[in-house]
Amino acid sequence: MELTAVTDLPEVRPGDDLAELVTDRAVLEPGDVLTVASTVVSKAEGRTADLEEFPVSGRAKELAERIGAAAGEQKDPRFAQAVLEESTELLIECPFMLTETRFGHICVNAGIDRSNVPEHDLLLLPRKPAESAERIRAGLADRGHEDVAVIVTDTCGRPFRHGQRGVALGWAGMSASRDWRGEPDRDGRELGVTVQSVVDELASAANLVTGEGAGGTPAVVVSDWEFGELEGSDELFRDVEDDLVRQALRNWRFDP
C-alpha cells in the first residue's frame, strides 16, 4: 500500500470544488482511495462561524462556568452555545463537553475547530460528511476518475489512551468495515466478534502523512490497496441500545 499526500493545495474557500483541486494535483487510478480532511470539506461548504453568531443561553452560561471552574480559567459561553447547537446529545458536561454530532459521531466539543480558520473564529464539522464524500466522488468521476473511493476524515481522542488518531466521518465508494465473523483463524477456530473498521484504519494511516498543525496537506491518495473478498458493512457509529459506554455516561456526573 502506498500513501501520497496531495501537495500545493491552496487555502480552501467557500464554493471551492475539492474534486477539481485534487485532480489538478494528484494521480488517481481505479481502486484508489482519496482521504480528505474534514477541515477543507467544511471550508468548501462554508461551515465557518464567528462566536458572535451564537447568542448565549442559560444552559451555555452554566456549562461555561462549570468547565471554567474545573480548569481554573474562564471559558467563553458563546463557544459552549456553538457546541450545543451542533450536538444532538451532551454525554459529558464537565470537565469537557463530550457530544454526539447530528450525524452520529461522538467527540469533544462537537468537533468544532479553532485552528487554521483565517478570518473566522470557528470551523464546524460538515453537516453530512457521507454526502460530502459522495459529492467529491461524483466530482472525481466527472473528471474521468471513476472507481475512486472517498473518505472524509478527522482526528479525535480515544478512551483509555493518550493522544489523537485519524477517524472516518463519512465515506463513499466502499464499505466501512470488513466482517471477519465466521472466518477461521490459523487453527481452524471460527472468529466470532471481529469486524475490522477499514475506513477508520485508512483515515489513521492517512493522518501519518498529512500530519497536524500547519502542514497544509489535507488530502492523501491511498494506492495499491484492496478491500478483499470479505463481506462489508456500512455500520460504524453504534446505536444507543448497543453502546454500553454511552448508557453508563448518562448516569455519571462530574462535580468540580
48 assigned binding-site residue? no
39 assigned binding-site residue? yes
83 assigned binding-site residue? no
Phi-psi region of 168 (alpha: psi -120 to 50; beta: other; left: phi over 0): beta
31 assigned binding-site residue? no
At 102, list the grid cell: 447530528
Q: Calculate ∠ Cα 92-95-101, nearest 5°.
A: 35
Which run of H or E residues covers position 139?
helix 129-142
4 assigned binding-site residue? no
Are 6 and 220 in contact by the 8 Å Cβ rule? The answer is yes
Are 97 and 75 in contact by the 8 Å Cβ rule? The answer is no
201 assigned binding-site residue? no
Q: At what angle do helices 77-85 and 58-71 cross, to 10 degrees?
A: 120
Instruction: DSSP letter for 147, please.
Output: S
243 assigned binding-site residue? no
Rounded Cα–Cα distance for residues 13 and 43 (Å): 6
Rounded Cα–Cα distance for residues 207 and 164 (Å): 10
214 assigned binding-site residue? yes
Instruction: DSSP letter for 53, please.
Output: G
How would you label 139-159 residue by residue, b for 16+ Cβ within 10 Å and e otherwise?
bbeeeebeebbbbbbbbeeee
Contacts of 7 (CB under 8 A, 6+ apart): 25, 217
113 assigned binding-site residue? yes
155 assigned binding-site residue? yes
At 56, list the grid cell: 448565549
7 assigned binding-site residue? no
217 assigned binding-site residue? yes
213 assigned binding-site residue? yes
58 assigned binding-site residue? no
116 assigned binding-site residue? yes
Binding residues for a divalent metal cation: 113, 154-155, 212
Give binding residues as ranges.
9-12, 38-39, 43, 113, 116, 154-155, 210-217
- Extract the annotated binding site for GTP: 9-12, 38-39, 43, 116, 210-217
